[in-house]
Each structure stands twice: as C-alpha cells, then as structure tokens.
C-alpha cells in the first residue's frame, strides 16, 4: 500500500511539474529546457541515493542555479517521498516547495502586470515593484531567499495596510463622476486582488523562511569543507594501508598454518604407525621372553634357610626327588640353574621367596609339571606348589582370572590355562 501511494504521489508530482514547465515556457523563453535538465539530474541523484553510492555532479554554466540544490542531498536516502540527511535534516518534497514558489512568483508577476494597466489607479504596492519571481531552492539562493523574506514581509505590511485603510483616495476622481457604482466595482475588484496577493505574500514568506533554514543547515552540516575532509581522507588512507598490511600478514599466517597442519597430520600418521609397530614389538618381545622361560619352573612355599648352605641346584634336585619319589624321576633331575627370586629376605611368618629352576631337559620339566597338577607335595609340613615360570606381563594377565579360578575350585571343576 505504501508503494502504491508513493507511486501515485510521484505521478501527481510529475503532472504538476509538466504544467508548471509549460506555463514557464510561455512566460520566459528557454526556461522549459533548463527545468527539464534540472529534473533529469534530480532523477539521477535520487537513483544513486537509493543505491547508497552518491554520484559526483558537475553543473554547467547553462544550468540554472536550482540544480545546485541537489548536491546537498547526494548522501540522502529516499524514504516515503522524503529526503533524509545524516544529521536528522529532513527536506520534505523540495520540488513541490520549488513549484509553489515559482507559481506564486508567476501569479504575483501576472497580477502586478494587470495592476499596472491603469498606473494612475494603482497603489503603493504596485509602485514599490514588489511583484517578483519566487526565489530558488539552491545553495547560491540563500541570499535570494533572505531577500524574498524581506520583500514578502514588506508586501504583507503594505497589502494589510491597504485592506485596512481602504482605497478611497485612489478613486477621488471617479467618485466625483459616478461615486456609487465605481466605488463598489473598483473597491471589490482591487480588494479581491489585494487579498489574493496578501495570501501569496504570506505563503512566499513562510516558504522562503523554511528554505533558508534548510540552506543554512545544508551549508553548515551536509557539505563539509575540503579542509575537514583532508584529515579524514588521510586517516582513511592510513587505515587502508594498515588493513592491507594485516591482510598480507594474515595470508602469510594462513599459509604457514596450512603447512603446519600438513606437518602435524604427517606426524600424527607417523606416530600411529610407530604405536602399531611398538605394540607389535612388545608382543614379540613378551612372546620371546616366555619362550625363553619354557624350561623354567617356580617352586613355591619352600621355607627359608632349608638349603643349610648347600648349592641351590643340588638342594632343589634332591628336594624334587624326595617329594616325587620314583614316580617321576629315577635319579635326581639335571638342572642348569636354580635360585630364589631376587628380593629382600621375608620376615618370620611371611611367605618365603620361591625358587626359580631351569631344567636341562624340557621333557623332565613337563613330566614334573603334569605330576604336580595331580598330586600334593609337602616339605617339612608345608604344602609346596609348582608352576610354570612366566613373564611379569603374562602373570598379571593370568592373575585377572583368579576370581573365576577360585569359583571353579569350589565347584570341583578342573580347568587349565593355555
């Protein structure tokens, strides 16, 4: 609805503009072409103002001064048929105000021409030369508008005085010949003309004041001088250089970050590969360690000091033969090494350190281990157990099944860990 209303207002304004231009073309030769040129430039400025990119307009010597007004609304936006400036300055329908001033000037001029037909009957208003053209809404016309205000004020005073005092003294000659008819006719005619001119003068006075106020604000606010723009332009240039420098540094930083990202990605892939290889190597080392312990057994719960100074190899060989009898060995087994596990000697009441025994023959070790799983062995009243010697890592893994093994023992289920 607002768009349609704006279009209707724009169309009405164009119709009025056409009528005024035609009238002016008949009164003043050559003014129509100049007014058309002014309107065309106004349209260009309005379109650029809507897009937010004010153009630069150069006025020629042939263009009327009215065109200079539009240089003050270059940085404005069109909103609901109004031009709105940066500092809250609103210039409402400048072209309409201009048209009203021109129409007032034309009608006042024509009325003045009619009033001067009978110069002997005219008033002080006509002799003073106050019928004039309306002023122009431009920067250069600020003085013209001030002059328009002054002359409009004088016209208001003179016309008001004539309407109040009367016009008897202007018709003394005709009163003597036919005072009744002439007085009424001319008094009505000239009072009507003076009333119309008074209305025009009041309108011209008001419009000139408004336009002068706009011109003052425009000169003070809307068009900063070149001296004030110079430092701002320098600051903008310095800021632009700083932004360009930051952009270059940012580009270099992004490039370096991209290279570092590639390096980090390659390092992460290498670390993953090394972790996989390390895990594989640890598994192999553990397997090799357990394979190296295949001929080893652990003998647990042999009291401390039972050796009585004997060599551990001889003591363990005699111990095994004593506990197993002739069911496993006919003669003492051949051992390569035998020793208690390293560590501090336990205090009294603590579990003794186990023996680690390395058999020379793998078959003898396996035969003893199978027999020990099926029989109980005692030495000096202590229950002795024999286990396969394993690495620490594998021992921890097997110990995680202790709870399950205990449950199986309680239920009498036989099991074996592979």
Is position 266 within any domain?
Answer: no
Output the six-digit token pair for 113: 């021409």
Segment 8-35 shows an average pLDDT of 49
Q: Which residue has the tokens 């860990």?
A: 417
Q: Is 314 within the bounds of a domain?
A: yes
Residues 210, 322: one domain? no
Evaluate whether residue 282 is within a structural domain: no
Q: Give the span between the Cα atoms of 200 and 258, in whole angstroms.
A: 77
Q: Which residue has the higher pLDDT, 93 or 404?
A: 404
**Per-residue DSSP letters for 186-204?**
HHHHHHHHHHHHHHHHHHH
DSSP letter for each residue of 236-269: HHHHHHHHHHHHHHHHHHHHHHHHHHHHHHHHHH
Q: Pick from 195, 223, 251: which residue ends a domain?
A: 223
| Tokens representing residue 161 in the block | 């005085």
Is residue 98 domain-shared with residue 213, that is, in the same domain? yes
pLDDT in tens, 137-174: 344 456 666 777 777 777 777 767 766 665 555 545 44
- Does 102 map to a domain? yes
Q: What span, in angstroms and rounded, lies between the C-alpha atoms of 185 and 192?
A: 11
Q: pLDDT band for position 98 (50/70/90)?
A: low
Residue 417's pLDDT band, with cuts at 50, 70 and 90, is confident
Q: Is the pLDDT at 90 greater than 70, yes or no?
A: no
Mean pLDDT of all residues in 199-214: 73
The DSSP secondary-structure symbol of 218 reads: I
What's the pLDDT band for 413 if we cut at 50, 70, 90?
A: confident
Same domain? For 322 and 202 the reply is no
CB 219 within 8 A of CB 139: yes
Q: Which of left, alpha, beta for 305 (phi over 0: left; psi -120 to 50: alpha)?
A: left
Let me know if residue 287 belongs to a domain: no
> Element (H or E) spanning 142, and its range?
helix 142-165
pLDDT of residue 74: 36
Tell me the C-alpha distance between 406 and 408, whole Å: 5
417: Cα separation from own chain's centroid: 67
Question: Region 348-376: what's the mean pLDDT?
Answer: 89
Between the CA of residue 54 and those of 44, 165, 393, what are the distances in Å? 10, 55, 82
E strand residue ranges, 155-240 = none
Is the same domain home to 326 and 211? no
Do 90 and 216 belong to one domain? Answer: yes
Per-residue pLDDT at 288: 93
Give, in order, the Cα–Cα distances in Å from 263 to each of 257, 268, 273, 275. 10, 9, 15, 18
> E strands, 33-155, where?
77-79, 82-84, 90-92
Dist CA 345 CA 88 (whole Å): 99
Q: Report the pLDDT value the prediction gives residue 46, as an integer from 0 to 100.
A: 54
Indicate if 65 and 206 belong to the same structural domain: yes
Strand order in the sheet with 382-388: 335-340, 355-359, 296-300, 382-388, 377-379
Let me know: does 316 contact 355? Beta carbons within 8 Å.
yes
pLDDT the model gives residue 219: 56
- Asked if the structure places residue 247 within a domain, the reply is no
Q: For position 326, what pLDDT does the model report?
A: 80
Tokens of 209: 């004041």
Regarding whether 219 and 301 lie in a shared domain, the answer is: no
Residue 250 lies in a domain: no
Instruction: Give the percent of the chain with pLDDT over 70.
Output: 52
Q: Residues 6 or more apart from 192 whose CB is under 8 A from it?
A: none
Q: What is the pLDDT of residue 18?
A: 54
- The stretch 193-198 carries a mean pLDDT of 72
* Rounded distance between C-alpha atoms, residue 223 and residue 226, angstroms: 9
- Whether 87 and 210 map to the same domain: the answer is yes
User: Whole-angstrom Cα distance, residue 404 to residue 410?
Assistant: 10
> Looking at residue 67, what DSSP letter applies?
G
Distance, in Å, from the CA atom of 407 to the CA atom of 13, rounded to the nearest integer, reads 104
Q: Which residue has the higher pLDDT, 378 or 21?
A: 378
Q: What is the pLDDT of residue 61?
A: 40
Mapped onto helix, strand or coil, the DSSP state of residue 115 is: helix
Domain encompassing residue 387: 296-410
* Same domain flag for 208 and 308: no
Assess whether 176 and 309 both reside in one domain. Answer: no
Amino acid 278: pLDDT: 96
pLDDT tens, 323-357? 888 888 888 898 999 999 887 788 777 888 999 99
93 part of a folded domain: yes
Q: What is d(CA 279, CA 268) in angstroms, rounded to the nearest whole number? A: 16
| Confidence category of residue 115, pLDDT binned at 50, 70, 90 | low
Structure tokens that stand for 225 in this block: 């001088």
- Check: CB of residue 290 under 8 Å from CB of residue 364: no
Last residue of a domain, one of 183, 201, 223: 223
pLDDT, tens digit, 9 for 90 and up, residues 213-264:
766 665 554 444 455 566 777 888 888 888 888 899 999 999 999 999 999 9
Domain final residue pick, 161, 196, 223: 223
Instruction: Tally the domains of the chain.
Output: 2
């Amino acid at each position: 609805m607002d768009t349609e209303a704006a279009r209707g207002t724009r169309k009405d304004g164009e119709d009025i503009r056409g009528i005024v231009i035609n009238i002016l073309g008949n009164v003043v030769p050559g003014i129509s072409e100049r007014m058309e040129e002014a309107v065309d430039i106004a349209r260009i400025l309005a379109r650029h103002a809507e897009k937010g990119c004010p153009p630069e307009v150069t006025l020629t010597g042939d263009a009327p001064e009215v065109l200079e007004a539009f240089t003050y609304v270059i940085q404005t936006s069109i909103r609901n048929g109004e031009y709105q400036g940066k500092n809250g300055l609103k210039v409402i329908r400048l072209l309409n105000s201009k048209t009203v001033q021109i129409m007032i000037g034309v009608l006042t001029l024509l009325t003045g021409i009619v009033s001067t037909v009978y110069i002997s009957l005219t008033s002080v208003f006509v002799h003073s030369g106050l019928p004039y053209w309306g002023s122009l809404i431009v920067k250069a016309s600020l003085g013209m508008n001030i002059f328009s205000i002054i002359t409009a004020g004088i016209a208001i005073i003179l016309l008001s005085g004539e309407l109040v005092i009367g016009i008897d003294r202007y018709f003394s000659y005709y009163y003597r010949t036919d005072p009744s008819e002439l007085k009424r006719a001319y008094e009505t005619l000239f009072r009507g003309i003076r009333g119309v001119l008074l209305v025009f003068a009041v309108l011209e006075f008001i419009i000139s004041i408004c336009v002068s106020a706009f011109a003052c604000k425009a000169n003070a606010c809307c068009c900063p001088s070149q001296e004030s723009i110079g430092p701002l332009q320098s600051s903008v240039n310095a800021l632009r250089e700083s932004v360009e420098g930051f952009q270059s540094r940012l580009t270099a930083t992004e490039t370096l970050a991209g290279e570092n990202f590639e390096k980090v990605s390659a390092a992460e892939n290498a670390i993953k590969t090394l972790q996989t290889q390390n895990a594989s190597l640890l598994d192999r080392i553990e397997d090799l360690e357990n394979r190296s312990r295949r001929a080893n057994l652990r003998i647990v719960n042999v009291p401390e000091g039972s050796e009585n100074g004997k060599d551990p190899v001889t003591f363990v060989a005699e111990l095994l033969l004593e506990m197993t009898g002739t069911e496993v060995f006919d003669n003492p087994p051949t051992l390569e090494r035998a020793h208690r596990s390293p560590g501090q000697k336990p205090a009294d009441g603590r579990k003794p350190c186990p023996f680690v025994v390395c058999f020379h023959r793998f078959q003898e070790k396996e035969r003893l281990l199978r027999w020990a799983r099926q029989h109980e062995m005692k030495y000096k009243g202590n229950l002795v157990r024999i286990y396969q010697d394993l690495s620490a890592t594998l021992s921890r893994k097997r110990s995680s099944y202790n709870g399950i093994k205990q449950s199986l023992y309680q239920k009498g289920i036989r099991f074996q860990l592979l």
